[in-house]
Amino acid sequence: MRFTIYQESRIGQRTSNQDRIAHSYSRDALLMLVADGMGGHAHGELAAQLAVQHIALAFQHEALPMLADPALFLSRAMMGAHNAILDHALDHGLREAPRTTLVACVVQHGAAFWAHAGDSRLYLLRRGHIVTRTRDHSRTQLLVDQGLLRPEEAHEHPGRNRVYSCLGGTHQPQVEHSPRTPLRDGDILALCSDGVWGPLGDDRLVTGLTCGPLAQAVPQLMDQAEQIAGASADNLSAVTMCWHDENNLSPATVDAVSTRTMEMDMFSTRLDTGSAGGGNTDLDEGEIERAIREINEAIRKYDTPR
């Protein structure tokens, strides 16, 4: 595989960052994750942390060096993360299970597979245009679908934060899956929380992501989103990837990641815990270590033989 990847998470104007993001890749498979802990409920940052860590660890457990079935992996991993959140709430006597949105994407054999619950989005861009994007599981999206709300008004609607599908909480998530989607040279996959796409809208987001290398374009895009949102700026998080043909060695791709020489059991992983940008988190190191132990137990509990 050959790709360029960049991720960033910011606190915005909130008192803490409840977003969690990650990417992990082996020689033949790539995983990207964005989770937005639901701040209207207790321990949203914990739900996001548990979900991202659970799925990332499950990926490292199975992608040796590729997944047997990427779509099945996403289905099982997201439900495993949901159950891990419920187990944590029960084991620790929480009044209610914490909640998080989540969008996850796997790239393998030159094709993308993704799944989501809530209003964290995935965009697939090709030659400066949106090929597809996920449909929000939200009250405002339902109003748009019914013709009762214009898309450009959705981010200002008082019900914009009401989602009907998430991991954790009191109901089973309604996880939506994509078909297998082949990638072309130069395609961009962008996973982001509503703190990014909400203030910008689709047109600004596309223009921003395609104006230059991702390591420059994404920070500029986040600057713009923060400026537009002003004092109400939410946490902002994105994981972005540009796909390259392995035979394309043009100057624009010389800094791209190539996995060709990776060992069969090797992984490269980056998980942002939400503290970047000055944000505070309610998770101390001891709690994170306990959460990791619980996630490993959950993976063993919910894992079934392939």
| Residue partners of 224: CB distance under 8 A and separation at least 6 | 199, 200, 204, 208
Cα→Cα distances 145→115, 116, 141, 153, 164, Å: 20, 18, 6, 13, 15
* pLDDT confidence bin for 250, thresholds 50/70/90: low
Q: What is the CATH number of the domain that holds 8?
A: 3.60.40.10
Q: Is the pLDDT of residue 172 over 80?
A: yes
- Residue 65, preceding peptide bond in cis (omega within 30° of 0): yes
Q: What Rg value do the Cα atoms of the chain yield, rounded?
A: 18
Angle 38-44-49 from CA coordinates, rounded to 5°: 120
Percent over 90 (pLDDT), the chain:
72
DSSP for 34-62? EEEE-TTSTTHHHHHHHHHHHHHHHHHHH
Element (H, E) at 31: strand 29-37
* The total number of structural domains that make up the chain: 1
Q: What is the pLDDT of residues 3-25, one digit of tens each?
A: 999 999 999 999 999 999 999 99
Q: Which phi and psi (to 5°) does residue 117 adopt?
A: -140, 120
Q: Do 121 and 189 form a contact (C-beta atoms < 8 A)?
A: no
The Cα–Cα gap between 10 and 19 comes to 9
Nearest to 37 by CA among 13, 6, 8, 16: 16
Beta strands in 109-170 (DSSP E): 111-117, 121-126, 129-133, 167-168
Whole domain around residue 41: which residue ranges?
2-302
Can you list the positions of beta strands (E) in 81-127?
A: 99-108, 111-117, 121-126
φ, ψ (nearest 5 deg) of residue 49: -60, -50
Give pLDDT tens digits for 97-155.
999 999 999 999 999 999 999 999 999 999 999 999 999 998 887 787 777 777 766 66
